[in-house]
Amino acid sequence: MGKPRVKVPKSAKAGEVITIKTLIKHKMESGRRKDKKTGELVPRNIINMFSASFNGEEVIKVDLHGSVSTNPYFQFQMKVPESGELAFKWADDDGNVTETTSKITVG
Amino acid sequence: MNISRRNALALGGAALTVTLVPVSFAQAAADDAMAQAVAEFTGGADIAEGGIELTTPEIAENGNTVPVGFSAPGAKRVVLLASKNPGPVVSFFTFGALSAGDASTRIRLAGTQDVVVIAEMADGSYTQVSKAVKVTIGGCGG
């Protein structure tokens, strides 16, 4: 898994709805593609879970089952109740986990 | 879940705005998988229409990366389905109280088909929306 890119506003008004964009590098091997040389199926390795939590409270969780494009991109909206930290997490079939955080200041 | 295959199929048939004229076994199989996925998500409950905004391109030149977005305010859970993909379930979404019940992503589509979003609302009811996407080059290359 590559380094994730997240776009989160640094500041917001209390109760404001903000848009968050995330992108992570991953080949998202579907398990249905054949190796061109050996003719054998390439084993599935996709990011199967993405989540975002604000101050420990889950905002969105996605269980990916396939058919999500290479380098998965997610955009979603969130209401900001107070200052805090948004924690993102990605996990793939091989057991790799990538995490990153972004701070939002209400003021 | 004790839903017979027949019930699941009937439910799927009612739920989907798919033209139910299976021209090939492959398509029949895809319809079957789709109906099963829908029944698994809803547990056989009735599905209303509307209440969700689904944004898809009318024509996708490249099936490998098709931008899809939905907005289902008040939804607890959402399933995103691609009716004719080898596995119709694209992703399940779970939304917390701070979420607006919306998400956008990019998906693979094996060919021209319907993209379906079904949402479970806070009161436990289900609603769905579906849109056809024309794909010029399929995205599940093999």
Question: Is the Cβ of A77 closer than 8 Å to some Cβ of chain B?
Answer: yes
User: HSE-up of A35 (CA within 13 Å, CB side)?
Assistant: 8
The pLDDT of residue A35: 87
Tokens 């909206």 locate to A77
pLDDT surpasses 60 at A31: yes
pTM of the model: 0.85
Contact B71, B102 (CB under 8 A): yes
ipTM over 0.85: yes
Question: Is the Cβ of B95 closer than 8 Å to some Cβ of chain A?
Answer: yes
A81 contact residues in B (CB cutoff 8 A):
98
Between positions 86 and 105 of A, the ones with CB within 8 A of B are: none
In order of start, what are the domains of chain B with their CATH numbers?
5-133 (2.60.40.2470)
For B115-142, how does the pLDDT look when each residue is reduced to its tens digit (9 = 90+)?
999 999 999 999 999 999 999 876 665 4
For B23-66, how does the pLDDT look when each residue is reduced to its tens digit (9 = 90+)?
567 778 778 899 999 999 999 999 999 899 999 999 999 999 99
Task: Please tell me which of the candidates B82, B97, B103 has its beta carbon nearest to residue A67.
Answer: B82
Which site among A73, A76, A106 would you substitute to test the B interface, given the most B Cβ atoms closer than 10 Å to its Cβ?
A76
Nearest Cα neighbor of A27 from A45, A43, A12 is: A45
For B77-122, how does the pLDDT look when each residue is reduced to its tens digit (9 = 90+)?
999 999 999 999 999 999 999 999 999 999 999 999 999 999 999 9
